[in-house]
């Protein structure tokens, strides 16, 4: 028997014993046990009202309570009764004379107590299993957290780096505060607004800011909280949520992680989950069933809009999408300024420089970066957070923490130094790559034995074919340096090769940049905000002959990039040797320490191409 079943059975056994004990106590609490002679004395004194004579016992009732007892019981002696009941006006019956109320209370009340104990234990079990505070009785109730008016504590001033999204959402605030203005011309706000963007870009934060600016009730719930182990619970919670919203209008309903609830039905050709489908169907019904003029606005957030059911995103439901993308350099600077207000900064800290070091960081990443910098400053005992603390925080976020305890033998350290210097010199020689910021041969927690950090001068939204080829050269320059110096290669370039292959594949299959393959998109489009999972590639829609041509084109691109990398490093062999020796000595260097790492003039770099 499982431990959980034994545990529950023990609860019921204890409750049953409690009921039996209560029954015995209830039936004996006002009954006096007396001898036969005492009964005769009480009868002769006129204190007995009635008796009930059984085969072995006599039960009776006093006219007035004796010692607090209203009833008595005695064992019958095996002889004729030595008293004349009629003489003393005592009623005689053959069964005990207990009132109906007493009988009901003696059995019904213990049963009620038994069920109360059972419900208490079930409620505790339900809370442990995550079924909510109310247990079974409240399982169909909405779990939405309700924030009244400005209890969210967030306004648009707390949201930085999302100016375009704030402009769109200010319309929602205007509608909730000035509904007559929109109704004058017959306009109404969209029923649902879908916040779309990668994780950590501030979708939940900006939804709370809308509620804080509008000063209305804010219902916040996650899509996963609608679905439970019991069929029909999700649909009941949807109904309850919208019922509460109608009672507290004007208000905002925010559903986070909508994809957990609104995934396309039967999207993979398999049988759907009935509970999830019922919940989604109920949500669709509620979206159609309320009037936007009532002042209810529905916001939802997801980072996987491509998996949502089309019925959910059609016009009249979630018919407007607000994109919350990763911030550009100006947006990152604004976000950093918000979070830097919470820490003590040194004079040398420049939010613009930190923003330049963090391309691709989301708002959550930047908040974590500021916290990491403060931790570094605290660890070293500093009074304020300096720019060096931010640089170390960036390195820890990108490359992992330092592992100085990992001791490399001299040959490995030297090979790593030449490898990283090869990356850096190639980046300095090619004009279409980002400038080198720092080089280190200190092992990192993510497995890297060294790294070369490049800092982009500006955010880029379009990349040319030449820039992609130059990036491939820089990635392969580490292995090329090992080949030039040692005449053989090692396993240290495995991550570089994976990134180069990915760039070459997109160059050929997604961007149509290879002249032999032609301008055709041969790779299926990936999810916009999610990387493709290993082994989840779709079936190809091109011939085997084309597949072979693609393989040859990718190999050709990589081989050409490798030969260019060797050409660059052969021409800068002295810088390669000098830089590697400096790295071995200092472990970490910057362009200020080694001038050949400074970006070369454009005219000189073109000769190398």
Q: CA torsion, points 562, 566, 572, 574, in degrees to nearest 10?
A: 130
Is 202 annotated as belonging to a binding site? yes
Residues 226, 237: Cα–Cα separation, whole Å: 6
Residues 551, 514: Cα–Cα separation, whole Å: 12
Is 191 annotated as belonging to a binding site? no
Lookup: tokens for 286: 């509620």
Q: Are the CB atoms for 422 and 460 separated by under 8 Å?
A: no
Per-residue b or e along 33-50, where b marks 16 or more CB atoms closer than 10 Å to that residue's CB? ebeeeebeebbeeebbeb
With tokens 């939804």, the residue in question is: 207
- Tell me whether residue 408 is exposed, middle or buried, using C-beta atoms within 10 angstroms of its C-beta: 0 to 12, 13 to 18, 19 or more: middle
Given 275, 414, 420, 549, the catalytic residue: 420
Is 327 annotated as belonging to a binding site? no
Active site residue 168: no
Is 496 annotated as belonging to a binding site? yes
Is 310 annotated as belonging to a binding site? no
Is 419 annotated as belonging to a binding site? yes
- Tell me whether residue 226 is exposed, middle or buried, using C-beta atoms within 10 angstroms of its C-beta: 0 to 12, 13 to 18, 19 or more: buried
Lookup: tokens for 59: 């039960």
Greatest distance between any 2 Cα atoms in the chain = 138
Is 204 annotated as belonging to a binding site? yes
Is 200 annotated as belonging to a binding site? yes
Residues 6+ apart with CB under 8 A from 107: 23
The CA-atom distances, in angstroms, between 606 and each of 315, 429, 430, 538, 602 are: 53, 9, 8, 40, 6
Residues 240, 235: Cα–Cα separation, whole Å: 9
Residues forming beta bridges with residue 297, ordered by sequence position: 252
Is 514 annotated as belonging to a binding site? no
Number of Cβ within a 10 Å radius of residue 26? 15
Residues in binding site for ATP: 197-204
Residues in binding site for Zn(2+): 419, 423, 496
Residues in binding site: 197-204, 419, 423, 496
Active site residues per annotation: 420
């Amino acid at each position: 028997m499982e431990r959980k079943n034994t545990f529950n059975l023990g609860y019921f056994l204890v409750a049953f014993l409690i009921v039996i004990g209560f029954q015995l106590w209830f039936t004996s609490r006002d009954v006096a046990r007396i001898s036969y002679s005492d009964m005769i004395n009480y009868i002769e004194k006129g204190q007995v009202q009635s008796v009930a004579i059984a085969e072995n016992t006599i039960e009776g009732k006093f006219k007035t309570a004796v010692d607090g007892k209203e009833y008595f019981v005695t064992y019958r002696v095996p002889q004729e009764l030595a008293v004349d009941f009629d003489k003393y006006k005592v009623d005689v019956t053959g069964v005990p004379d207990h009132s109906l109320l007493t009988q009901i209370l003696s059995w019904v009340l213990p049963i009620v107590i038994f069920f109360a104990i059972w419900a208490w234990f079930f409620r505790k079990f339900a809370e442990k299993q995550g079924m909510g505070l109310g247990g079974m009785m409240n399982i169909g109730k909405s779990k939405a957290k309700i924030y009244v008016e400005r209890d969210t504590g967030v306004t648009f001033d707390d949201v930085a780096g999302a100016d375009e999204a704030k402009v769109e959402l200010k319309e929602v605030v205007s509608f909730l505060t000035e509904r007559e203005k929109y109704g004058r011309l017959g306009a109404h706000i969209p029923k649902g607004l879908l916040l779309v963007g990668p994780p950590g870009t501030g979708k939940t934060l900006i939804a709370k800011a809308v509620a804080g600016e509008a000063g209305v009730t804010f219902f916040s719930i996650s899509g996963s909280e609608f679905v439970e182990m019991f069929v029909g619970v999700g649909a009941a919670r949807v109904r309850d949520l919208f019922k509460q919203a109608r009672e507290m209008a004007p208000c905002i309903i925010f559903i986070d992680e909508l994809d957990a609830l609104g995934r396309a039905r039967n999207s993979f050709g398999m049988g759907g989950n009935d509970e999830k489908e019922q919940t989604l169907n109920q949500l669709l019904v509620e979206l159609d069933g309320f009037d936007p003029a009532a002042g209810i606005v529905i916001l939802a957030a997801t980072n996987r809009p491509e998996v949502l059911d089309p019925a959910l995103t059609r016009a009249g439901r979630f018919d407007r999408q607000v994109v919350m993308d990763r911030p550009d350099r100006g947006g990152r600077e604004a976000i950093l300024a918000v979070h830097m207000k919470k820490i003590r900064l040194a004079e040398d800290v420049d939010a613009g420089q930190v923003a330049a070091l963090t391309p691709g960081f989301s708002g959550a990443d930047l908040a974590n970066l500021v916290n990491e910098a403060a931790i570094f400053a605290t660890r070293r005992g500093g009074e304020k957070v300096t720019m060096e603390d931010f640089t170390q925080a960036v390195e820890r976020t990108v490359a992992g923490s330092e592992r100085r305890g990992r001791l490399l033998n001299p040959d490995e350290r030297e090979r790593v130094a030449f490898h990283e210097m090869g990356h850096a010199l190639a980046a300095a020689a090619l004009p279409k790559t980002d400038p080198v910021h720092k080089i280190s041969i200190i092992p990192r927690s993510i497995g890297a034995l060294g790294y070369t950090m490049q800092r982009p001068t500006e955010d880029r939204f379009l990349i040319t074919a030449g820039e992609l080829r130059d990036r491939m050269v820089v990635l392969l320059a580490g292995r090329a340096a090992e080949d030039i110096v040692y005449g053989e290669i090692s396993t240290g370039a495995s991550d570089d090769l994976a990134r180069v292959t990915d760039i070459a594949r997109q160059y050929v299959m997604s961007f149509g940049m290879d002249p032999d393959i032609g301008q055709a998109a041969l790779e299926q489009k990936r999810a916009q905000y999610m990387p493709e999972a290993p082994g989840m590639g779709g079936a190809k829609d091109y011939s085997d002959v084309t597949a072979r041509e693609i393989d040859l084109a990718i190999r050709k691109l990589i081989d050409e990039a490798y030969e260019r990398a060797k050409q660059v490093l052969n021409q800068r062999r002295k810088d390669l040797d000098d830089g590697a020796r400096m790295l071995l000595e200092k472990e970490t260097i910057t362009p200020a320490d080694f001038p050949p790492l400074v970006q070369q003039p454009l005219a000189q770099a073109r000769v190398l191409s």
